[in-house]
Amino acid sequence: MKKLNVALMAGGNSSEREIALNSAKMVYEAFDKAKYNVFIVDVHGRQWLCDGAGGRKVEVDKTDFSLHLGEDRLAFDYAFIMIHGTPGEDGKLQGYLEMMGIPYSTCDSVSSVETFDKTLCKRVVAEVEDLCLAREVLIRRGQHPDWQAIVDRLGLPLFVKPNASGSSCGVTKVKEAARLEEAVEKAFTESDAVLVEEFIAGREFGCGVLLTAEGAQALPVTEIVAHNEFFDYEAKYTAGKSDEITPAPIPAETADRIRRAAVRAAEACHCRGLVRVDFLLTPDDRIYMIEINSVPGMSSGSIVPKQLAAAGMKLSDVLDTIIADTLCRH
CA distances from 154 to 149, 157, 160 (A): 9, 9, 12
284 exposed, middle or buried (CB, 10 Å; 0-12, 13-18, 19+)?
A: exposed
Q: What are the φ and ψ backbone dihedral angles of 223, each rounded to 5 degrees?
A: -90, 135
| Known catalytic membership, residue 16 | yes
Residue type at position 298: M
| Catalytic annotation, pick one of 167, 242, 294, 299 | 167
| Known catalytic membership, residue 165 | no
Q: Is the Cβ–Cβ distance between 274 and 209 less than 8 Å?
A: yes
Q: Does 5 show up as a binding residue in the annotation?
A: no
Q: Does 291 show up as a binding residue in the annotation?
A: yes
| Known catalytic membership, residue 112 | no
Q: Does 278 show up as a binding residue in the annotation?
A: yes
For 69-87, b/e burial (b = at least 16 CB within 10 A) is eeeeebebbbbbbbbbbbb
Residue 294 neighbours by CB distance under 10 Å: 31
Annotate 41-109 with DSSP letters as a single string.
Answer: EEEETTEEEEE-GGG-EEE-BTTTTEEEETTEEEE--EEEE---STTTSSSHHHHHHHHHT--BSS--H
| Catalytic annotation, pick one of 14, 15, 16, 294 | 16
CA distances from 315 to 130, 153, 212 (A): 30, 45, 15
Annotated binding site for Mg(2+): 278, 291, 293
Among all residues, which ones are annotated catalytic? 16, 167, 302
